[in-house]
Chain A
Amino acid sequence: MKNSELLETISRVLYPFILLFGLYIILNGDLSPGGGFQGGTILATAFLTIYLVKSKNTISVKSLLKLEKVLFLMLLFVAVISVFTRGVPFTNFLPLNTQPDIKRVFLIILNILFGLKVATGLIAVFTAFISENEDFDDTY
């Protein structure tokens, strides 16, 4: 892909702001609109602007998929913690009569894990799409 200087500069400027916005939406997902999925997709788009700057990819799809699996297992683990603390699976691991400000922690942890999982999944899809012809170039 041919890159123009304008596009490169603008995406360099926008990159940290998009990352910040994605993190903001993930962290405030329990109080305001948004959440894990929306923030994760915004994080992924922030990452994809890197490809506009330099079209060569440096990450391998396999490590991304491994990270995604680890995040999925962690999600399951966080959901099952409540069996040990309250005796019921798939609910908040804090007792019912705690302050709402502290009970929020459970939702924030779930949102962060889910957002990272969505982001890695989308980046893996996009990286696989980009590296379609990369191995072809090496043989020539």
Chain B
Amino acid sequence: MDGKDKMTAANFPAIHAEELELGYRSAQGLNLLASGVSFDLHRGELTCLMGPNGVGKSTLLKAILHQHPPLKGSIFLENEEVRQLSDRERARKVAVVLTEKIPAGAMTVHELVALGRVPHTGWWGQLSPQDRSVVKRVMDITRITQLAGKKLAALSDGQRQTALIARALAQDSPILILDEPTAHLDLTNRFEIMYLLRDLAKKAGKAILVVTHDLEVAMETADTLWLMEAGKALQQGSPEDLMIQGGIQSLLPGDKWQIDPESGKIRLKDPPNLPQIEGPIHLSHWIRNVFRKNPELTRPERIVVRDQPFGIRLFFADRTEELNGIAEMIRFLQQ
């Protein structure tokens, strides 16, 4: 967390992986999920790992944590090979936030965060004054000091996730790995959590890897995107580059879905022969949305939409129709 560490660690990446082969060996033979996976994770950066379910994201995380070593290739945590680190040394380099539910609801937030000190304490687990000050500091950083005495079962989903991040921070490791930290969270909490992580990467100089399915949030907050695709090499780049160059489209196999290049959102592909829509962009966007959702609607030749007062005019070959709302328009076009 301090500047000196940052200087000495600056020469090599926080995580370096070379030609990993990820998969499982079972009685039925080899189940290869991904091969040729190489990457560098850097300090001071928030990296988002995306990819469809079952492509091997969790297996990659397990490989980094040495819970399920890769079939081939090697992983280095700050220039030290992960398989040569002891459990304790590894825990001092990588902290995690997992998707699994915390079973102990009676634990208080403070007790949870203090558990992050486990790799640093003695055999009895007693906190030294230094451990206590780290716990206090990370609770300040994540702004959960006022929750310290609360039981985990009494927290909201967003607060619980923040407390888990605080626990991982208390581990005082240069690398932080989070598995879907924004799942089950509401809109503002999703951004709150991701900006908190971004802040930690920038101010505390941590290397942060987030597995997420939330493209919108990843576009908004990530420094680097890693895209995992079945049977292909890991695509890496800034989210903006990947969006402009179309790399992100690889997240959506098949031709049913597309990514709106302007908003970065996933939507259905435009159906053929959309009517021509005229009017201010923020209004015409939603008219188009209606036709994407309801491909069965009769299509006028031309639609003009205007603001203040809101109104829609539909032009057919033989007549025009004046409507005051979108629901009214849908009802009219269903006939």
Q: Do A and B come from one complex?
A: no
